[in-house]
Amino acid sequence: MRAWIVDRDGANERMLTKGSSQVFCPSVSPDGTRFAVADWLATGRLMTIHPIDGPSAEIQPDGPLWDAWAGVWSPDGRTLAVNGRVLDGGAN
């Protein structure tokens, strides 16, 4: 699976994520410049943050495995809360 974006009128459809990993639970930042996804990697589902336009410099913060559901951005877009699991795959 990939993350896509499209204008409200259906124009300008484009794929936002590349590569061979599967992504799900996209969440767009309040200013519309970035989005976070759960990225299914060999080590588990980790959060990656991508720019919507511009160079594809993704950020993969240190943190828990992403359990499920979309992340919730703070109103100023500086933080992102996600439902996570400890790195050994244990409890939420």
Q: pTM of the entire structure?
A: 0.72
What per-residue string of b and e applies to 42-68 under the rule 16 or more CB within 10 Å gives b? eebbbbbbbeeeeeeebeeeeebbbbe
Percent over 70 (pLDDT), the chain: 71
Residue 10: is its pLDDT beyond 60? Answer: yes
Checking if the pLDDT of 65 tops 70, the result is no
Chain centroid, CA 86 distance in Å: 18
DSSP string, 72-87: EE-TTSS-EEEEEE-T
